[in-house]
Structure 1
Amino acid sequence: MDRYRPAEYPPFAVTVDLVILTVRDDTMRVLVIERAGPPFQGRWALPGGFVRPDEDLRQAATRELVEETGLTTDIHLEQLGSYGAPDRDPRMRVVTVAYLALAADLPSPVAGTDASAARWAPTADLVAEPDALAFDHREILNDGIERARAKLEYTPLATAFCGPEFTVAELRRIYEIVWDVRLDPRNFHRKVTGAPGFVEPTGRTSTRDGGRPAQLYRRGPASLLHPPMLRMP
Structure 2
Amino acid sequence: MVPGTSMQGSSHFTWRGTAGARVQPRPLWEFTFSHPNGITIDGAIYKSPKIRCDRDYPGRPSSVGCVFPQQHADEWVSGDRASWWGSHVANAQSSGLPVSLHRATTAEVVANRAAACTTAPRPRPTVPGSTEKRECDEYPFASAAEGAASGTGTVRVLNIYTWDGSAYCNMPPTVNQTGEGGWSICLIPASDNRTGGQILNSLYKAFRVIPGDEYSIRIYTNT
Shorter-normalised TM range: under 0.3
Structure with the larger strand share: 1
> Which TM-score applies when normalising by structure 2?
0.25
Q: Which structure would you say has the larger RCO, counting Cα contacts within 8 Å and 6 or more residues apart?
A: 2
Please tell me whether Structure 1 or Structure 2 has the larger radius of gyration of its CA atoms: 2
> Which TM-score applies when normalising by structure 1?
0.25
